[in-house]
Structure 1
Amino acid sequence: MMTDTIDLDAYMARIGYDGPRAPTLETLRDLHRLHPIAIAFENLDPLLGRPVPIDREALENKLVHAGRGGYCFEQNLLFSHVLRALGYTIHEHTARVLWNRPEGVRTQRSHLLLLVDIEGARYVADVGFGGNVLTAPLLLDHSGPQQTPHEPYRIVRDGGDYTIEFNPRGEWLKLLRFDLSEQIYEDHVQSNWFVSTYPQSIFTRQLMGARALPGKRYALSNNMLTVHHMNGGSDKRALGADELRDALADLFGIKLDGLHGLDDALARLTNGVA
């Protein structure tokens, strides 16, 4: 039975957390580490032309009870409901994605992230940034490297702008840029509708999947599966349609029940790969 608030017990069971629920930095770190392990980044709904509602009940049904994943508007809004229910003070912001973009190219605000107030400090929480998703919160007003269970990250400030960078192989790479102008739910509805329906959106044209496990990351781009190992090196291979379905279910932990048209879409994405 759904209520007006998030089902915390169901969420905690979904991510495998049974620790304290006090709104502390330690609790936030534990939740932030476990969420990307349990709930994969994926865009199957917009790829299949299905609507992507982001109200609380829809998010809970899909990501918690139905065993699905989602992208930033789904992942971080679900996380915001959980954190608010635990007693955290949350601020919602949008960012411009810089990852894999040429230097100097201006991008739209298409990514949602959270700021969390804890004991007079602000922390970036972001469980929805695909293959380079944070696995720990980052202290906002700290310019040095910040270690996570995966790669080190840092936040570079330039006036009122903040740029998040990460260092996977000895080089700092830009991920996204944001400022402190807050957004409201109606802003997210508009942005989410655009990225999930615009014909040229990457979410409607390309299959994406990501999951951060201890010591490694899984990343999926159409039928190309990459495993990034935190101790160095990556493995990459193309998947056939059946292998791709198995990877979505097994490696990414996504329940695929009721996704009509999925097999046809996977066959198109594999381009005849056996």
Structure 2
Amino acid sequence: MSETRLTDLPLYLRRLGFDTPPAPTLATLRQLQQRHTAEFTFENLATITGAPVLIDLASVEQKILHAGRGGYCYELNHLFFALLQTLGFDVRGISARVVMNQPEGSWTARTHRLTLVTLDDVRYITDVGFGGMVPTAPLMLDCEATQTTPHEPFRIEQQADGYMLRAKVAGEWRAMYLFDLQRQEDIDYTVGNWYVSTHPESPFANRLMVARTGEGWRKTLNNGSFALHRMGAESERRELTDVDELIALLTEEFGLRVPVQPQLRGVLAQIIRPA
């Protein structure tokens, strides 16, 4: 993988609550992952308009750190990978096949970026770009026991073809994604990103998906359906039917600086009021 270099590390760290670079420890990794999923929103406003999604580090940094936007796995996990690498963590970029909401045993394309971190000879996966079910803590790889996070419990099952990540949702262990440890290069992510952002059958090209976490809650937006999920409580839901209301929600609930574009307004109107 080509060398990555952040251009504004102090700003990035301040956004995550650090005045100086923290040591590359497990405690630091836990703090970084929890804070990252709370500070930087998962969103795909670009792909629903057909705009290109640039995933080189400079473009990602500009969009997320300076333009008030979020992103999806190829952006968020690239930025986080660069941060971990800069701080001195032993990291490897890997990829996964998302099987969430698919029939058990489904075999999907490699369309999700995540990171393998090795600390004191112990391997973990870390992921800040998995939307409404993003793990909010690093997960030990070589452990099939239930692992707690600030949100749902997760577990990793070793399988013949790699590993399966599951989360316990509503009392049920649901499959999230299947992954292995094959090193991924920039070109692998470029191919995956091209499919995710442009293929007619990609959900990212056809559906608005926004998510953010916080202390004891998750917020999600699926087209015009907004939900606030509180851990251990009933979810609060509402439907949005007005574009201005939707843009206000993206700003107020998800902290996004929404681009003022007539094309985006038209797409949002179509999403919440389909023909």
When normalised by structure 2's length, the TM-score is 0.94
RMSD between aligned residues:
1.7
Match of 1:244 among 243, 246, 251: 246
Shift of 1:159: 3.1
What's the CA shift string for 1:26-59, capped at 9, x where partnerless? 1111000000101110000111111111111001
C-alpha separation in 2, matches of 1:92 and 1:20: 22
**Is the alpha carbon distance of 1:166 and 1:234 closer, same or farther for their aligned partners in structure 2, counting shifts above 3 Å?**
same
Q: Assess if the C-alpha contact under 8 Å between 2:10 and 2:20 holds in 1.
A: no
Residue equivalent to 2:65: 64
Q: Deviations over 1:66-111 (max 9, x none)?
A: 1110011111011000000000111111111110111232211111
Distance 1:142 1:50, change over 3 A: same
Following TM superposition, by how much is the alpha carbon of 1:143 offset from its aligned partner in structure 2, in angstroms?
0.6
**Cα offset, 1:259, TM superposition:** 4.2
**Residues in 2 aligned to 1:215 and 1:164: alpha-carbon distance in whole angstroms:** 21
Indicate the residue corresponding to 1:181 in structure 2: 182
Contact 1:94/1:112 (CA < 8 Å) preserved in 2?
yes
SS of residue paired to 1:261: helix
% of aligned pairs identical? Answer: 44
> AA paired with 2:236?
D
In structure 1, stretches of 5+ residues that fail to align are none
Contact kept? 1:6, 1:81, Cα under 8 Å: no
- CA-CA distance at 1:16 after TM superposition: 3.1
The answer on 1:130 being equivalent to 2:131 is yes
Instruction: Give the equivalent residue in structure 1 for 2:156.
Output: 155
For this pair of structures, how many residues does the alignment match?
Answer: 271
Cα distance in 2 for residues equivalent to 1:194 and 1:28: 30
Separation in 1, partners of 2:7, 2:21? 17
Which residue identity does 1:143 align to in structure 2?
Answer: E
Q: Quote the residue 2:271 is aligned against.
A: 269
Q: Determine the structure 2 residue equivalent to 1:110.
A: 111
**What is the CA-CA distance between 1:242 and the residue it aligns to?**
1.9
**2:227 equivalent in structure 1:** 226
Distance (Å, rounded) in 1 between the aligned partners of 2:170 and 2:55? 35
Q: For residue 47 of structure 1, what is the aligned residue in structure 2?
A: 48
Letter in 2 for 1:247: L
Cα distance, 1:172–1:201 mapped onto 2, change above 3 Å: same
Shift of 1:270: 1.5
* Distance in 2 between residues matched to 1:192 and 1:104, nearest whole Å: 24
